Structure 1
Amino acid sequence: MGFLKRFLKTTYRDSSAGKSRSSFESLSEDQLETHLNIAKYGNFMLTDAIRPSYDLEVVPQAGYRHDVYTDKETGIKIPVLMASASKEILFDLFIDLLDPLGNEVDVVLETSHEGSNNHHQDLYREHMDLPVLKSTLYDYEDLLLNDGCAGIAVLNPLIPLEVQFDEHKLLIMYGQGIEQFEYTLEEYGIPHISDLKFITEAEHVHSSSDESIEELDQLKYRLGIDFE
């Protein structure tokens, strides 16, 4: 009942991805409970942050693919890697992906707890020592893994490179020279799948809790982020 309690108690959000009807629309309480308590698909373990659609339009799996982000103002194309990893290795992988960013980084804490669907707030902290950041993030590993309304991005604007651990618990890497991230993904056994579909590309639901909001405030303080 753990995920169901979190899901029903606080935050319910879905992304229908253009579908006319939600796959959750006609479910009984028992069907909903059963689906939300499924965390493992094959060898892939989800965190508590998110669940796929009931009709499993996208089945969660480990892998990564190449993409391109085009800046709307400049038209510059930026190489992107998107990756998903099973819960048992996900956080360690994220931490190791930060190494190419250098010893001093900027941090963006992303939260959508108080926002409407598809809206989030970005909270910045500049010039943080990477070893200090890693130690702090490990103290909040459970929050960052299992809160479906919180994410974090770490970047070095001087290189520039960025690693994002988003609220869907996907890993997104931006910048030139991203092949160094591929080496780390391969070391963790994450396969390259060119046509990989992610959970964000179909209907899905997010989970959070009041306790997560309190922990997030603590993390803001630890990161040195001013907030009201």
Structure 2
Amino acid sequence: MGFLKRILRNNTTDDLGTKFSPGSFEALTDEELQTHMGIQTYDAFELTDAIRPSYDLQVVPRQGFRYDKYVDEMSNLETPVIMAAATRNRIMDLFLELIDHLGPVVDVVLETSHHFAPQQNDLYREHIDMPVLKSMLLDHEDVLLNDGCTGIAVINPARRQEVQLDEHKLLITYGDPLDAFKQTMIDCDVYPDEKIKFITEAEHVHSSSERYYDKFTLLKNHLGMDSENNSECC
């Protein structure tokens, strides 16, 4: 199973940078934890290997999207957001269709919290042709879907629009307008649900391994992000 990185809504950080808080995972035996991590399907919704909900199922994963907003702490400006969860066999196809709306040339950000990093690190690549990017993403689908310490964002800075596939394997679109992104989700059978709760809104656990770190490093290098020294902490 590799190491587990506990990420909780109200978390603390220990000396190693591992984020955790007492909750439903704390009293589990190794066997109970292994069993829980082995559950992939909740009703018709299938999770990737990257993340699992709380043992007591504070949030039951399901497919759908809702509107939200991002507020910049410096400028206090609000940006419209769509947050979505899709079952495993839809995530990558939907992500590729969503990023098509960003235009022929985009910027890419890889997000990593491997090796118990106390903060997520961002690696940036500017000006990549969309067909080239999509080909690379398909080549590295395994790490993008199944590594709980890898996230990716595709950005059109001129339009101020962004599509993110984050560590939790949620699909998040930022910008204005969002109509095209909304229609693409509906066309892929991901429908609006203002009452939906996402796995990030309760206790949950991420899963990764050295094997996935190696795959992340390969993806980073293929994208031309050769040095993590150039990254910025978010």
Shorter-chain TM-score tier: over 0.9
- The residue matched to 2:180 in structure 1 has which SS? helix
Amino acid at match of 1:12: K
- The residue matched to 1:172 in structure 2 has which SS? strand
1:15 aligns with 2:16: no
Alpha-carbon separation, structure 1, partners of 2:173 and 2:5:
28
Alpha-carbon separation, structure 1, partners of 2:197 and 2:138:
29
TM-score, length of structure 2 as denominator length: 0.90
Q: How far is the alpha carbon of 1:20 from its aligned partner?
A: 7.1
Deviates more, 1:151-160 or 1:68-77: 68-77
- 1:3 — aligned with what? none
- 1:163 — aligned with what? 163
Deviates more, 1:24-33 or 1:168-177: 24-33
* Map 1:15-164 → 2, pairs under 5 A: 15=8, 17=10, 21-117=22-118, 119-164=119-164
Contact 1:17 1:201 in 2 (8 A): no
Alpha-carbon separation, structure 2, partners of 1:62 and 1:46:
10
Alpha-carbon separation, structure 1, partners of 2:31 and 2:110:
36
Contact 1:84 1:169 in 2 (8 A): yes
Contact 2:9 2:201 in 1 (8 A): no
Q: How far is the alpha carbon of 1:76 from its aligned partner?
A: 1.3
Alignment deviations for residues 126-162 of structure 1 (CA, whole Å, 9 cap, x no partner) = 0000110000000000110000000000000001210
Alpha-carbon separation, structure 1, partners of 2:177 and 2:121:
28
Alpha-carbon separation, structure 2, partners of 1:211 and 1:20:
27
Contact 2:64 2:85 in 1 (8 A): yes
Q: How far is the alpha carbon of 1:115 from its aligned partner?
A: 4.1
Q: How far is the alpha carbon of 1:179 from its aligned partner?
A: 1.2
Amino acid at match of 1:138: L
Alignment deviations for residues 59-87 of structure 1 (CA, whole Å, 9 cap, x no partner) = 00000000011111212111000000000
- The residue matched to 1:164 in structure 2 has which SS? strand
Contact 2:5 2:116 in 1 (8 A): no
Q: 1:23 to 1:16 in 2, by over 3 A?
A: farther
Contact 1:111 1:151 in 2 (8 A): yes
Q: Which runs of 5+ in 1 are unaligned?
A: 1-5
Contact 1:16 1:22 in 2 (8 A): no
Q: How far is the alpha carbon of 1:53 from its aligned partner?
A: 0.3
Seq. identity, %: 51
- 1:207 — aligned with what? 207
Alpha-carbon separation, structure 1, partners of 2:163 and 2:122:
15
Alignment deviations for residues 153-197 of structure 1 (CA, whole Å, 9 cap, x no partner) = 000000121000000000000001111100000001112111211
Alignment deviations for residues 102-121 of structure 1 (CA, whole Å, 9 cap, x no partner) = 0000000000003445x210
Alpha-carbon separation, structure 1, partners of 2:218 and 2:176:
34
What is the root-mean-square deviation of aligned Cα atoms in Å? 1.5
Q: Which runs of 5+ in 2 are unaligned?
A: 12-19, 229-234
Alpha-carbon separation, structure 2, partners of 1:78 and 1:219:
29
Alpha-carbon separation, structure 1, partners of 2:21 and 2:217:
37
Q: How far is the alpha carbon of 1:17 from its aligned partner?
A: 3.5
TM-score, length of structure 1 as denominator length: 0.92
Aligned residues: 220
